[in-house]
């Protein structure tokens, strides 16, 4: 029996939970249009952490739907996936090309990152990260579950990055900001 060509991790049903979240942007309404990023201050269960909005995918729900729903539930801001110009290894629809190469494409709503978190005896959490844009100015109250204690806060991108508690969250926001900064300003949802 030969060794596998590439190291592989495999998780069978019941050994993992799928989650999705997003880096939520909004366009400011000042004279000069700027972008802000929403992070949430988590104070539940004795915590004092600054995080990105995310949560478990429901049964039958797509990853994209879960990211938008969880972002809305934890922040209270209606949002949608925000198409961007970004690198991907996914082939164009209908292209039967076996070359596995990175290409840059416009209008993508692909995940920008995946986080794999070892939960010990509880298994592995796999989090798919997207870029979203707030679709309204008003925050909707009462969107969080009873056990959640998140206070959303929109900040300038660099301030949001510095405020986040965890390095991995900072890396995700840096990547999202890089992608959004390199995408044409006329990209809409």
Here the CATH number for the domain that contains residue 76 is: 3.90.79.10
Higher-confidence residue of 142 and 67: namely 67
Per-residue pLDDT averaged across 156-181, rounded? 97
Q: How far is CA 127 from the centre of its chain?
A: 8
Give the pLDDT confidence score for residue 184 in this predicted structure.
58
Residue 81: which domain range? 24-90+103-181
Give the pLDDT confidence score for residue 1 in this predicted structure.
65
Determine the Cα angle at 138 with ends 188 and 27, to 5°.
35
pLDDT in tens, 82-141: 999 999 999 888 888 777 889 999 999 999 999 999 999 999 999 999 999 999 878 989
Residue 18 lies in a domain: no
Higher-confidence residue of 67 and 28: namely 67
18 pLDDT exceeds 80? Answer: yes
185 pLDDT exceeds 80? Answer: no
The total of structural domains in the chain comes to 1
Higher-confidence residue of 5 and 152: namely 152
Give the pLDDT confidence score for residue 4 in this predicted structure.
74
Encoding tokens for residue 62?
């797509």
Residue 57 lies in a domain: yes
Residue 139 lies in a domain: yes
Banded pLDDT at 7 (limits 50, 70, 90): confident
Residue 117 lies in a domain: yes
Residue 119 lies in a domain: yes
Residue 188 lies in a domain: no
Give the pLDDT confidence score for residue 44 in this predicted structure.
79
Banded pLDDT at 15 (limits 50, 70, 90): very high
144 pLDDT exceeds 80? Answer: yes
What's the CA gap between 77 and 26, in Å, rounded?
10
Give the pLDDT confidence score for residue 3 in this predicted structure.
72
Give the pLDDT confidence score for residue 104 in this predicted structure.
94
Encoding tokens for residue 96?
């039967």
Residue 45 lies in a domain: yes
Please say whether the beta carbons of 90 and 111 come within 8 A.
Answer: no
Q: Cβ-count burial of 6 within 10 angstroms (0-12 exposed, 13-18 middle, 19+ buried)?
A: exposed
pLDDT in tens, 30-82: 778 899 999 999 987 788 999 999 999 999 999 999 999 999 999 999 999 99
Residue 13 lies in a domain: no
Give the pLDDT confidence score for residue 189 in this predicted structure.
47
């Amino acid at each position: 029996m030969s060794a596998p060509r590439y190291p592989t991790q495999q998780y069978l049903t019941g050994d993992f939970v799928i989650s999705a979240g997003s880096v939520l942007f909004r366009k400011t309404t000042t004279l000069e249009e700027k972008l802000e990023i929403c992070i949430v201050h988590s104070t539940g269960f004795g915590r004092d952490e600054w995080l990105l909005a995310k949560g478990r995918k429901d049964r039958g729900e797509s990853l994209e739907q879960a990211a938008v729903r969880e972002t809305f539930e934890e922040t209270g801001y209606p949002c949608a996936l925000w198409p961007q110009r970004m690198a991907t290894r996914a082939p164009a629809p209908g292209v039967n090309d076996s070359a596995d190469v990175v290409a840059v494409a416009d209008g993508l709503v692909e995940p920008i990152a995946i986080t794999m978190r070892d939960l010990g005896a509880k298994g592995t959490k796999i989090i798919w990260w997207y870029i979203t844009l707030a679709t309204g100015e008003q925050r909707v109250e009462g969107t969080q579950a009873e056990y959640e204690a998140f206070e959303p806060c929109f900040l300038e991108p660099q301030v949001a990055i510095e405020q986040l508690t965890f390095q991995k969250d900072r890396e995700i926001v840096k990547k999202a900001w890089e992608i959004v900064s390199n995408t044409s300003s006329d990209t809409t949802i």
